[in-house]
Amino acid sequence: MKRWELDDWLASLTRVAPSTLAVYRRDLRDAARWLDTVGRPSPVSVTRRDLRGYLARLDRDGYARRTIARKASILRRYFRWAQRTGRIETDPSAALSAPRGTATLPRVLSADELDHLIEGGVRSSDRPEIELRDRAVVELLYGSGLRVSELCGLRRVDLAGPKGTVSVWGKGDKQRRVPISDPAADALARWMSDGRPALVTEGSPDDRVFLNRRGNPLGPRDVRRLLDRRSPTPTHPHALRHTFATHLLDGGADLRAVQELLGHADLATTQIYTRVSRERMREVHRSTHPRA
């Protein structure tokens, strides 16, 4: 594995969550081991045909189409880095195709579920600083459609800039500026002024916006726990992002604008939410129209 310089590649991904880095490490190591068995011990010797053979082998072994697509994406990212840094001359993963995963309709939260999450429900924390933090987290996840990794990665410098906006680092280390709602801006300001100082310890990072109860950077698992604490039903952080996008389209937002807000590189990824909106309209028709 030394020839693949896996540690150097992972170290270059400074804006990727640790859990995601673990997936990248595992997937690339698996690919490198298979390529070694077919006589390709280093990235210099790998061809596009070799990579296609690897993906075909995964398909024969019964891997889900979505999983194969993820592994292909990781290979493309690695080989782009290898070419950019001069480790290889040509990128064998260029135009590498993989079966696209089957899209399933995301769950959109109901008005009651959103109310419980935002207001705290019956299981809200009784610690004022935790309540301020949790309220700001929920407002940002729903009000701006952030990925949980983007929210956990927020730094103080990301809050500087035009009023009512925040900078986030998305997939592929791409930065975008997104608007935040007035309730989110108010909740964030109260957290930063009244809540965050109460959780700061001697070892707390000075630049991170959100901290956990121990004063360490807030992580995705912390966010999942706080949502579970506030919601009467199990709620994944991504459900808030789904709901954000669907509500925008329900309100007449342009699909390209939603793509930009979500940080999707491919418009096809955003288009799944149009299916969600159509399904929601059909359900409203079925449940409310007397002749449906």
Dihedral of CA atoms 185, 240, 176, 151 in degrees, nearest 10, equals 70
Q: Is residue 171 annotated as part of the catalytic site, yes or no? A: yes
Q: Which of 76, 196, 242, 264 is catalytic?
A: 264
Q: Which of 40, 135, 241, 242 is catalytic?
A: 241
Q: Is residue 224 annotated as part of the catalytic site, yes or no? A: no
Q: Is residue 247 annotated as part of the catalytic site, yes or no? A: no
> Helix (H) and strand (E) counts for the chain?
15, 2
51's CB contacts (< 8 A; 6+ apart) are 72, 75, 92, 93, 96
Q: Which of 52, 107, 155, 171 is catalytic?
A: 171
Q: Is residue 264 annotated as part of the catalytic site, yes or no? A: yes
**Residue whose tokens read 């999983």:** 67
> Coil, strand or helix: which one is 236?
coil
Q: Which of 24, 78, 142, 273 is catalytic?
A: 273
**Integer Cα distance of 2 and 283 in angstroms:** 55
227's CB contacts (< 8 A; 6+ apart) are 117, 138, 235, 236, 237
Q: Which helix (H) or strand (E) holds 85?
A: none
Q: Which of 33, 100, 156, 238 is catalytic?
A: 238
Q: Which of 147, 196, 230, 247 is catalytic?
A: 147
Under a CB-based contact definition with an 8 Å cutoff, are residues 167 and 150 in contact? no
Active site residues: 147, 171, 238, 241, 264, 273
